[in-house]
Amino acid sequence: MNTPPSRARVLSAPISWWHVIVDLERHGYTHRQIAIAIGGARSTVQDWKNLLVEPRHVDGEKLIALWCAVTGRDRADLPSKDVKPLSATTCR
């Protein structure tokens, strides 16, 4: 039995939290400002960026909402883990 398209589960690549935080930094946010905006700790934001841990669901949703508001981009545009890391040449 086929599942109707409206009920089909859409799978996406995992979010690259490193890229999300770097995007926010490029828009002038510090780790402290990100933490204040989502109600967390600066050290936790650093841990996410350093890939030591991933945000809990609630914190991830808050970070996504902040990223969308700051960058003006849609949730569908979130960077995924299959994105290649930035190099010095792309940062110029």
Q: What is the pLDDT of residues 47-69, one digit of tens each?
A: 999 999 999 999 999 999 999 99
Number of domains in the chain: 1
Distance of alpha carbon 63 from alpha carbon 65, whole angstroms: 5
Instruction: Please determine, for residue 86, whether its predicted confidence score (pLDDT) is greater than 80.
Output: no
Q: What is the pLDDT of residues 17-51, one digit of tens each?
A: 999 999 999 999 999 999 999 999 999 999 999 99
In a domain, 31, yes or no: yes
11-48 burial, b for 16+ CB within 10 Å, e for fewer? eeeebbbbbbbbbbeeeebebeebbebbebeeebbebb
Q: What is the CATH number of the domain that holds 48?
A: 1.10.260
In a domain, 90, yes or no: no
Range of the domain at 35: 17-72
In a domain, 4, yes or no: no
In a domain, 23, yes or no: yes
CA dist list (Å): 68 to 1, 7, 9, 18, 64: 37, 25, 23, 15, 6
In a domain, 35, yes or no: yes
pTM here is: 0.76
Distance of alpha carbon 30 from alpha carbon 43, whole angstroms: 12
